[in-house]
Amino acid sequence: MTETKDVNLDFEREERTGLAEAVFCEGKSDHQLKTICEKVVKEARPMLFTRLSIEQFEILDDSQPAVLDYDAVSGTAFHLSSGSDYKVPIAVVTGGSSDLPVAREASRTLAFYGYDVFEVHDVGVAGLWRITERLDELKACKITICVAGMDAALSTVLGGLIPGVLIAVPTSVGYGMAKGGETALRSLLVSCAPGITVTNIDNGYGAACAAIRILNTFTEPGSEDS
């Protein structure tokens, strides 16, 4: 196995925190990524890779064929799975189809930990009927992750309509004054719907991790409620 001094994986992190280490791939060299992948495969450890481009994946797949489950939409891949079979209902909702890469990052992170995800896409507030007709399904979910750009109004609307934990993810989708997601983030931080948790811009992974930390306090594999 190729060794490099700038790679030091933390395989014990899940025992300490309930969340395994994930590899953020943007900015990493091909050499670093290949070293990480070689070590993960050799030790048969589960590992989640985020922000992994198709070009980076192809390099890893050439060196370690067919060991990574890759999703091009979210830019995520994982080796093995870190979770068990959880039956807690979790929803991931998007305002528009352009928010799908961030939403899929959240869904894939949850899948890595063994959670099934109920996905509802393209239900932004420009056509309120699209979200209101899904409310009964969303009300049954313990946690909803809402992913939206522009003014991110969908999360505030849901905050007044559903009882479960609501995690809002502002995205960088939008024209001009959307400012790469800054407007959506600020809109969520001043939302009049109380109790919404807000992540950083485009941080679907962080939203999923927040959900898992919450769920780890009261769920066991295979359980449906606390």
In contact, 62 and 92? CB cutoff 8 Å: no
Written as six digits, the tokens of 185 are: 């983030």
Amino acid 44: pLDDT: 85
Are residue 132 and residue 178 in the same domain, yes or no? yes
Are residue 159 and residue 191 in the same domain, yes or no? yes
Amino acid 97: pLDDT: 93
Domain boundary among 79, 100, 116: 79
Are residue 197 and residue 141 in the same domain, yes or no? yes
**Into how many domains does the chain fold?**
2
In a domain, 1, yes or no: no
CATH at residue 158: 3.40.50.1970
In a domain, 221, yes or no: no
How many whole angstroms separate alpha carbon 47 and alpha carbon 169? 23
Taking only the tens place, the pLDDT of each residue in 145-159 is 999 999 899 999 999
In a domain, 112, yes or no: yes
How many whole angstroms separate alpha carbon 81 and alpha carbon 111? 8
Are residue 99 and residue 186 in the same domain, yes or no? yes
Are residue 146 and residue 205 in the same domain, yes or no? yes
Domain boundary among 79, 99, 125: 79
- 130, burial (CB in 10 Å: exposed 0-12, middle 13-18, buried 19+): middle
CA angle, 91 then 93 then 97, to 5°: 145
How many whole angstroms separate alpha carbon 45 and alpha carbon 198? 31
Specify the pairing of strand 22-24 against strand 47-50: parallel
What stretches in the chain show pLDDT beneath 50?
1-2, 226
CB atoms closer than 10 angstroms to residue 221? 11
Residue 179 is given by DSSP the state G
Amino acid 222: pLDDT: 59
Q: Indicate the helix (H) or strand (E) that contains 100.
A: helix 100-112
Domain containing residue 161 = 86-216
Are residue 106 and residue 187 in the same domain, yes or no? yes
Written as six digits, the tokens of 148 are: 């939206």
Are residue 26 and residue 91 in the same domain, yes or no? no
Written as six digits, the tokens of 169 are: 């993810």
CA angle, 151 then 156 then 159, to 5°: 160
Are residue 92 and residue 197 in the same domain, yes or no? yes
In contact, 125 and 154? CB cutoff 8 Å: yes
How many whole angstroms separate alpha carbon 76 and alpha carbon 100? 13
Residue 97 is given by DSSP the state G
Are residue 145 and residue 177 in the same domain, yes or no? yes
